[in-house]
Amino acid sequence: MRRNRTRSVGRRSRIDFQLEPKERQALKLAEIREALVAAGYDTTAKQAAVLGVGRSTAWWLLNNDRRYGPSAKVIKRILSSPQIPKRVRRKVEQYIEDKIRGRYGHSEERTHWFGAQFHIHHSDLKPKY
């Protein structure tokens, strides 16, 4: 009988590998929401305030299941918020890196454009193992 070789790989890595790109994107946005809730921002109004965006934008970003991601403009506004918790900032930065790497199914042209909005290019990112 053959052993399952994915046993040594972390559970999350196997799940991430099997997901469709837009599902991965939706999961990362859910992680941002979970980080906000864990930091005590459990309502849309509180989340919007800490992210520096309007309530409708915060709700759309964190609760919508259409699997569209935020624009570069919204992400810049979030990163410029002085109140954003470190864990949430890290999740947003991971989202940016993953989008630039093309993990969410966008074209190479679109990922280059997105990275240029943050002055980051795919070649500047450290490899993930």
**Do 66 and 91 touch, CB atoms closer than 8 A?**
no
Instruction: Give one DSSP letter per residue of 20-50, joined into a string.
Output: -HHHHHHHHHHHHHHHHHHTT--SHHHHHHH
Q: Which domain holds residue 80?
A: 20-124
Domain count, the chain: 1
Separation of alpha carbons 67 and 69, rounded Å = 6
Instruction: Name the more confident of 67 and 60.
Output: 60
**Residue 96: inside a domain:** yes
**Residue 6: inside a domain:** no
**Residue 12: inside a domain:** no
Using pLDDT thresholds of 50, 70 and 90, give the confidence band for residue 2.
Answer: very low
Give the pLDDT score at 3: 45
Average pLDDT rounded to a whole number, residues 68-79: 91
76-88 per-position pLDDT tens digit: 999 999 999 999 9
pLDDT, averaged across the chain = 83
**Residue 15: inside a domain:** no
Place of tokens 């795919």: 122
**Residue 38: inside a domain:** yes
**Residue 25: inside a domain:** yes
**Residue 43: inside a domain:** yes
Using pLDDT thresholds of 50, 70 and 90, give the confidence band for residue 128.
Answer: low
**Residue 1: inside a domain:** no
SS3 107: coil
| Residue 15 predicted with pLDDT over 70 | no
90-125 per-position pLDDT tens digit: 999 999 999 998 888 888 898 889 989 988 766 666
φ, ψ of residue 127 in degrees (nearest 5) = -65, 145
Helix (H) or strand (E) holding 44: helix 44-51
